[in-house]
Structure 1
Amino acid sequence: MSITLTEAAAYEVKDMMEKNGMPDGYLKISVKGGGCTGLSYGMSAEEAPGENDEILTFYGVKVLVNQTDAPILKGTIVDFKQSLMGGGFAIDNPNAIASCGCGSSFRTREVAGTPENC
């Protein structure tokens, strides 16, 4: 299994999907080139899986991960954390060997990505 979605994250995703009229939708977690360190995470709501998507289910939330991104995301935990400043998704990827100060960009030992100026 490439990723894990915590119960708190699943609850937040369900709420967001329902508010956006997609109660039967999928959460797609992806990796793309860019950011200060070379790779960036992407999260989007999708109506259906793509041809190369792996479908995972956590607490009733259907999650899509493209087979190309799966090795980069292997072991990743997606959580939702609440603080006095609000809430947000936190991504803990054990494959990331470097990340930028804001935490939204990373690289792995095998994949450097395409860094951009920040």
Structure 2
Amino acid sequence: MIAVTDNAVKHLRELLESQNAAAGVGLRLMVKKGGCAGWEYAMKLDSPGAADRVFGPEGVSVFVDPESLEYLDGSQLDYSEGLSDAGFKVENPNAARSCGCGSSFEPKNN
């Protein structure tokens, strides 16, 4: 399960509206090899795939593929409004360590 904070929902709605996103489009949250800690988070606006799990309240969707969910299960998606680093952030309990900017992580079971 992925928890989506109210702040993330608000900003995702604004993003979808500003992009004139078609019905059914949401935020794809995934992990891929890379980054300074071994795995990095990636996000993009996308439509759901057949095997995706869908998270979020009605009207706002976050899509996660089964492979990424192994690394993200139990995480929380939030939105940070810092001066130099605004954007969607993942708080991941499955990370043994994260890089300084929070965009990559090393899984606990690595």
Residues 86 and 99 (structure 1), Cα distance of their counterparts in 2 relative to 1, 3 Å cut: closer
Please say if residues 3 and 56 of structure 2, whose CA atoms lie closer than 8 Å, have aligned partners that are also in contact.
no
Identity, % of aligned positions = 36
Counterpart position of 2:15: 16
Distance 2:57 2:3 in 1: 8
Distance 2:85 2:108 in 1: 33
- Greater percentage in strand: 1
Counterpart position of 1:87: 86
Q: Once the 2 structures are TM-superposed, how far is the Cα of residue 65 of structure 1 from its aligned partner? A: 0.6
Which secondary structure does the structure 2 equivalent of 1:89 belong to? strand
Distance 1:35 1:87 in 2: 19
**Counterpart residue identity of residue 68, structure 2:** D
Counterpart position of 1:35: 35
Count of paired positions: 109
Counterpart position of 2:56: 57
Counterpart position of 1:115: none
Q: Once the 2 structures are TM-superposed, how far is the Cα of residue 85 of structure 1 from its aligned partner? A: 4.5
What is the root-mean-square deviation in Å for CA atoms of aligned residues?
1.7
For structure 2, the residue ranges without an aligned partner over 5 or more in a row are none
Distance 1:81 1:59 in 2: 22
**Counterpart residue identity of residue 109, structure 1:** K
CA offsets 1:74-95 (integer angstroms, 9 cap, x no match): 1111111223447322211011
Distance 1:49 1:23 in 2: 12
CA offsets 1:12-43 (integer angstroms, 9 cap, x no match): 01111111110521111000000011000011
**TM-score relative to the length of structure 1:** 0.82
Larger radius of gyration: 1
For structure 1, the residue ranges without an aligned partner over 5 or more in a row are 112-118
